[in-house]
Amino acid sequence: MTRNPEPMNYSDKLQAPVFSILSDIADEMGKESYVIGGYVRDLFLHRPSKDIDVVVVGSGIEMAQAFARKLGKHAHLSVFKNFGTAQVKYKDLEVEFVGARRESYRHDSRNPIVEDGTLEDDQNRRDFTINALALCLNKNRFGELVDPFGGMEDMENLIIRTPLDPDITFSDDPLRMMRGIRFASQLGFYLELGTFEAIERNKERISIISRERIIDELNKIMLSRRPSVGFLLLDKTGLLPLIFPELAALKGTQTIDGCGHKDNFMHTITVVDKVAETSDNLWLRWAALLHDIGKPRTKRYDKRLGWTFHNHNFVGAKMIPGIFKTMKLPLNDKMKYVQKLVNLHMRPIVLSEDEITDSAVRRLLFEAGNDIDDLMVLCNADITSKNQEKVKRYRQNFQIVRQKLKDIEEKDRIRNFQPPINGQEIMETFNLPPSNQVGDLKAAIKDAILDGIIPNEYEAARAFMLQKAAEMGIGKPEGTTA
């Protein structure tokens, strides 16, 4: 390890008042203290960050207590004695204090032996060179950069590299393999070859990491500007089938009788990137990632039709609760939203290929409801054919669908449509218990409105209900005589 011969000074980066308070305390306590880790990295990358990590060669808890005292009653201090760390929250700032430590791992245990250490020991145990940068807080060296592993150079060259032998860094905490890929995707950096190869070698160790920590990283990959960067690295390093087998199953092509199909993994991540260009909505991005997830299970080859993936949207939508459960994604309305988009993702395109009837457009509006705009973003991104003629035709037809959706919504207000007659009224009118007949009548009224047979009005719906009930042989209405 080589120290910078002439330390660079970045006191200009530490102009916020919080740093001068920290500096005063560091000197009052007579302890070497540094801002370290992600905050410093982000300062140089001009990424705003509110979470400051401070490392003290001494007690992090004592420094946090002194800091909270200085800030007064609006500061909120939390002490984690077992970990030797403490946190102070003040307005929108969050400062984390930790004593510099040395960690050593025994092969038979995942838990490290932690001892007090020097700044150098502390930097050694960090995950990547760009995350090991420290800026001194003490007055005589205020703003001095301590960069023992060439983190600044790596930052300039856009390199993700571990400070120590990557096999050690990754086996100490296998989540770091995901973090490395996440940083590459999030920051637009490249994994250094040795770091990349170590992930390939250590990938199986990911099995000891909790699903919650994995999904955190996956969501950060999803939210990066080009999520495909992260997914390609997950694939190339071999992590993908271990953390997300359903997505890995989309990989590959097959050719029979000279007829091939596209690689659905490559197609999928292209669609995610395209959605990411227009929307920051994490769940819309998840819908893009999962839109073709049912394809491997529905793939068939037919001499006449070639490759087919019949009903892959239904099958895919059915797979989603299972995937969300295993991945520890939320099992709430977000899941329902993803399921709905996966289920409907073919509809606008199928619509655009047929003659576009008002009735089909009304049905789509009814089923998609307020998510119609997101569905259209997904469908538009789904057009990735290499055949430019085909893409042009799709896009033109798509424009017609969009216009039609707009016209019909303006005219009929179908998006949040509720049929004017509900089940309760049907039961009371015909003196029926809850039954299939009630459901059938309700569906018939809804269909008649969506198909434009009757207008979306109460009187018309009531007349239609009476007529339909008579046809269906449903009991005569209350208060009438034969």
- What is the contact surface with ligand CTP in residues (CB under 6 A)? 37-38, 53, 126-127, 131, 173, 175-176, 179
Output the smallest distance, CB 53 to ligand CTP, in A: 6
Residue with Cβ nearer ligand CTP (223 or 466)? 223
Residue with Cβ nearer ligand CTP (24 or 42)? 42
- The dihedrals phi and psi of 357, each to the nearest 5 degrees, come to -90, 150
Structural contact between residues 269 and 227, judged by C-beta atoms closer than 8 angstroms? yes
Residue with Cβ nearer ligand CTP (175 or 364)? 175
Output the smallest distance, CB 42 to ligand CTP, in A: 8
| AA letter at 389 | E
Output the smallest distance, CB 296 to ligand CTP, in A: 33
Residue with Cβ nearer ligand CTP (38 or 452)? 38
Output the smallest distance, CB 289 to ligand CTP, in A: 21
Residue with Cβ nearer ligand CTP (122 or 235)? 122
Instruction: Give the tokens for residue 370.
Output: 């307020």
Output the smallest distance, CB 198 to ligand CTP, in A: 15
Of the candidates 146, 106, 153, the one whose C-alpha atom is nearest the C-alpha of residue 126 is 146
Q: 436-450 and 458-472 are packed helices; what angle lies between their axes, rounded to 10 degrees?
A: 130
Output the smallest distance, CB 186 to ligand CTP, in A: 7
Residue with Cβ nearer ligand CTP (134 or 266)? 134
Half-sphere exposure of 268 (CA within 13 A, CB side): 26
Measured from each CB, the residue nearest to ligand CTP is 38
